[in-house]
Amino acid sequence: MNNSSEYQWRDRLASILLNLPGRSEKFLKEFLSSLTGGADEDLRVLDSYQLYQRASRLVEEIPEDRVSEALDTALKLTFKNKVAPFEEKVRQTVELLRERKISYLVPTDREYPERLLDLDAPPAIIYKGKLSLLQKPSVGIVGTRRASRETKRMAERVARTLSLLGIVVVSGLAVGVDASAHRGAIGEPGSTIGVLGCGILIDYPKANRSLRRRVELGGLVISQFQPLQEPAKWTFPLRNRVISALSDVLVVIGAPRRSGALITASASLELGRTVLAWFAPGNEHEGARELVRSGGAVPFYSIEELVETLKLEFKELLSKFEDRSTSSLIGEDLQGKVLSLLSSGARHISDIVETLSESHTSSEILRTISLLVSKGFLARDLGGYIRLVEKLN
């Protein structure tokens, strides 16, 4: 983006790709006809999503030295006398992204994630956070929004274990399983990527406002939509395909029969990705069970079993952990949480258990406290209070 012509066509390409999703079929057909000179196959048989794919792919196939001219022509033919307001919108959008320190990538950029090129129509993406996470081994975690406490705990433990192993956790920043996965991964070596089902400047869902801020600061948040796009029914299937493409492996943790997680799993299978699933009794998990029964997913029943399965996918990365069991990794993580919790002063044992119960069982927490007491790190006081031993201060 060193010269003005490159600046103009790159901004224009990004704006078109970000605004194509959700446009009317009439707009898409006119835009396609403009790019192809009307010589393409009959466009009337294609739906909006297929038209978006076609338009995006055609833009990518234009030789770089003709992109600016082709886009200018297509925009004028499509918008006719309204092309000037559209160009003004492009300029305002880019200024807004820069003002908020949000950057974007188009598929022609060198930094563009290679995994997204597996999609039929690689989207432009706008992002905030650590772009380097897109180059690391990754596992997507998806599941139900209406997750039980047990399901949320499993999602958080799986995500934390993966992130401790240096694997990036990808999810959709929704409530339920998504939020638990991001919480488990953030702050650990692998960290996390949140893929939005709306524009990057839209605060959705509001319940995840603080979590999203943490992911922006310590991980990466991306969107394929124009910055002020509100969430809609059509935005989430497109979001799910990006999650699938960015994930080397997809893990489904609980999903009912009608679930966006199953759409993500289907997209992953289409892309040739491995899909794993964990489920428990109940309707909340019926979709995940069916996914396993149909042969679409490989089941796992414990974190240790999951890691053993992932060793086939990430052999080189996980080989350095051969001498350390998954149990020890999880144990060290919980010990650190207990010590951190007590760094501000003594706490009652029941308070410790309640505080950490979202991601660990009571028995795990109590065993860890006993272990730390036996090692001399903690001391038990009268009345059930636990404190750090003075030498750690």
What average pLDDT does range 206-212 have in this prediction? 93
Q: What was the pLDDT predicted at 69? A: 74
CA atoms within 13 A on the CB side of 248: 17
Report how far apart, in Å, the C-alpha atoms of 245 and of each of 79, 215, 248, 250 are. Answer: 32, 20, 8, 10
Q: What is the pLDDT of residues 180-195, one digit of tens each?
A: 999 999 988 889 999 9
pLDDT band for position 42 (cuts 50, 70, 90):
low
pLDDT in tens, 124-133: 899 999 999 9
Instruction: Please report which confidence band the pLDDT of residue 119 belongs to, taking 50, 70 and 90 as the band edges.
Output: confident
352 has pLDDT over 90: no
- On the CB side of 197, how many CA atoms lie within 13 Å of its CA? 20
Note the pLDDT tens digit of each residue in 231-273: 998 899 999 999 999 999 999 998 877 787 888 998 999 888 9
Facing residues of 171 across strands?
194
Between CA 263 and CA 258 the distance in angstroms is 9
Residue 28 or 214, more confident: 214
Specify which residues 139 forms β-bridges with: 169, 249
Burial class, 35, CB count within 10 angstroms (exposed 0-12 / middle 13-18 / buried 19+): buried
